[in-house]
């Protein structure tokens, strides 16, 4: 169990640029989640995959955000035309198969995005 | 809509004191799940405990204990004999029966002074 891995750890970009983050879940975890956390706030749910299927999306996920999990393993989160309000920590989490309520989420260390 | 309120933004105590972190939740679901996570300075959220709405039995794990009271919609977390390593931000979270995403509170920053 190597834990959830996220890359990069930090990303600084200029407003209007596109950015992509990667998440590698714990192997054999079929559920993968993306959350966003701003300073002084709790994580906010963005989206959820079960294997390669994106099953749930938050209203927070504007059309500039897109997430994929093409082979049911790693996932990418892309933000197009970044805005300063996108500056946040983006957290990825995974959990094993089974009733989703019964499986605690294992979080990665996050990718901190700063939009200048 | 679901909501989790952690009214204590920051708590500072001296080592070895007991401390209780409050969590109040709102949900219309009859089946739901409550969680506590710890976020140390390194940033990684660490799962501490899960409770379902049908199990009001309190739980103790070492120096940690949790008090779930459905009547007051509260799920409080107590650390006894606090230690400096307990310093972190603690989040209470709620998961409704139909949703897969967790709703987190804003967190309580716990500072344990030596």
Q: Of B8, B41, B100, which to mutate for an interface test with A (greatest number of A Cβ within 10 Å)?
A: B100
Give the Å distances, CA to CA, from A40 to A26, B34, B49, B90. 27, 21, 22, 12
> Is residue A1's pLDDT more than 60?
no
Query: Mean per-residue pLDDT for A47-54?
Result: 92
Give the Å distances, CA to CA, from B63 to A31, B18, B66, B83, B103. 31, 9, 10, 10, 26
pLDDT digits (tens, 9 = 90+) for B73-109: 999 999 999 999 999 999 999 988 666 788 999 999 9
> Which residue in chain B has the smallest CA separation from A102?
B50
* A to B CB pairs, distance under 8 Å: 57
And the tokens for A46? Answer: 């963005």
Q: Interface of chain A against chain B, CB under 8 Å?
A: 31, 33, 40-45, 48, 55-56, 58, 89, 91, 93, 100-102, 104-110
Is A101 close to B104, i.e. CB distance below 8 A? no
And the tokens for A1? Answer: 């169990």
Q: What is the pLDDT of residue A56?
A: 86
pLDDT digits (tens, 9 = 90+) for A14-32: 999 999 999 999 998 999 9
Dihedral sign, Cα of residue A75, residue A30, residue B49, residue A101:
positive
Question: Among A86-100, B58-72, B81-95, which stretch is predicted with the lowest mean pLDDT?
Answer: A86-100
> Is residue B60's pLDDT more than 70?
yes
Query: Mean per-residue pLDDT for A77-99?
Result: 92
């Amino acid at each position: 169990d190597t834990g959830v891995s996220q890359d990069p750890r930090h990303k600084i970009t200029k407003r209007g640029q596109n950015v992509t983050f990667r998440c590698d879940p714990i192997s054999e975890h079929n559920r993968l989640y993306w959350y966003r956390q701003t300073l002084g706030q709790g994580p906010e749910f963005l989206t959820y995959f079960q294997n390669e299927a994106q099953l749930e999306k938050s209203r927070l996920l504007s059309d500039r955000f897109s997430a994929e999990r093409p082979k049911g393993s790693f996932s990418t989160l892309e933000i197009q035309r970044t805005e300063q309000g996108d500056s946040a920590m983006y957290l990825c989490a995974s959990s094993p198969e089974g009733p989703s309520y019964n499986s605690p989420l294992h979080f990665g260390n996050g990718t901190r995005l700063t939009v200048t | 809509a679901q909501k989790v309120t952690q009214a204590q933004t920051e708590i500072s105590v001296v080592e070895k004191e007991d401390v209780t972190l409050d969590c109040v939740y709102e949900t219309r679901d009859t089946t739901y799940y409550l969680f506590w996570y710890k976020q140390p300075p390194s940033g990684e959220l660490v799962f501490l405990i899960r409770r379902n709405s049908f199990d009001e039995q309190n739980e103790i794990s070492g120096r940690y204990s949790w008090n779930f009271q459905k009547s007051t919609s509260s799920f409080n977390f107590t650390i006894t004999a606090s230690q400096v390593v307990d310093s972190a931000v603690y989040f209470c979270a709620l998961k409704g029966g139909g949703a897969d995403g967790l709703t987190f509170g804003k967190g309580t920053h716990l500072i344990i002074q030596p």
